[in-house]
Amino acid sequence: MQNIEMKKDGNILTIKIDLSERHGKSSSGKSVVVATTGGNASVPGAEDIKIGINCYTPAK
């Protein structure tokens, strides 16, 4: 995972992403990665639940 923090509190999942970060261009080169799980990731404290996040901005 890049630039993603997850916290489970009871049945609530909180996801934290720093929107000011940039992690290079995507594989297609069309966007710049802000945060990613890099595919599906297990939710901490509920490993049977999966999440997939891609947060990006268009490449200039």
Mean per-residue pLDDT, 15-33: 96
What confidence category does residue 39 fall into, taking pLDDT thresholds of 50, 70 and 90? very high
Q: In the prediction, which pLDDT does 60 show?
A: 85
CB–CB of 59/25 below 8 Å?
A: yes
State the Cα–Cα distance between residues 33 and 54, nearest whole angstrom: 8
The residue ranges of every structural domain in the chain are 5-58
Predicted pLDDT at 25: 96
Is it the case that residue 46 has pLDDT exceeding 90? yes
Q: How far apart are CA 44 and CA 10, in angstroms?
A: 11
What pTM did the predictor assign? 0.88
Average pLDDT taken over every residue of the chain = 97
